[in-house]
Amino acid sequence: MSPSPPAVAPEYTLAATLGFELLEVGPERATGRFAADDRVKQPLGLVHGGAFAAFAESLASVATYEAVASDGLIAVGLSNHTSFLRPILAGTVHADGRRRHRGRATWLWEVDFSDDEGDLCAVSRVTLAVRPAPGG
């Protein structure tokens, strides 16, 4: 049986709305980027803290989901803790995620964000629950 279509077409999701781009998505490492456009900024011109948090959440969720879906499991976000170290005003925000834990019931990812100079600008820790898919 084929899976249900997504409830929201990819081009209308938060990730698309904010211009998030996933590059590598694997079970142990996941990377991506987004442009420091107005749509991810707060009024003073800095990338909004929520953009880092949201990107980390997307990256970790997609990577975990793709790793467990074939076992009839889904990934559900439990928590997201993002610390902001250095503002980004322009250019591209680069994200590099590493899976730190693959448990029976929870996965944990850490995502580093850097600017075009390679300076570390934010770090996220994302914890996800892995559960049987509803009706799976």
Catalytic residues: 57
The least distance separating a copy of itself from the CB of residue 109, rounded to whole angstroms, comes to 11
The whole-angstrom separation of Cα 62 and Cα 42 is 26
Contact call for residue 101 and a copy of itself (CB under 8 A): yes
The least distance separating a copy of itself from the CB of residue 85, rounded to whole angstroms, comes to 4
Amino acid at 40: V
Positions 22 through 61 that interact with a copy of itself (CB under 8 A): 38-45, 48-51, 53-58, 61
The whole-angstrom separation of Cα 22 and Cα 55 is 9
The whole-angstrom separation of Cα 83 and Cα 92 is 18
Contact call for residue 6 and a copy of itself (CB under 8 A): yes
Contact call for residue 84 and a copy of itself (CB under 8 A): yes
The least distance separating a copy of itself from the CB of residue 34, rounded to whole angstroms, comes to 11
DSSP sequence for 69-129 = GGGTEEEEEEEEEEEE-S---SSEEEEEEEEEEE-SSEEEEEEEEE-TT--EEEEEEEEEE
Contact call for residue 21 and a copy of itself (CB under 8 A): no
Taking the least distance from each CB to a copy of itself, the nearer of 29 and 100 is 100
The alpha-carbon radius of gyration of the chain (Å, integer) is 15
Binding site for a copy of itself (CB under 8 A): 6-10, 12-15, 17-18, 38-45, 48-51, 53-58, 61, 76-87, 89, 100-101, 103, 105-106, 108, 110, 120, 123, 125, 127, 129, 131
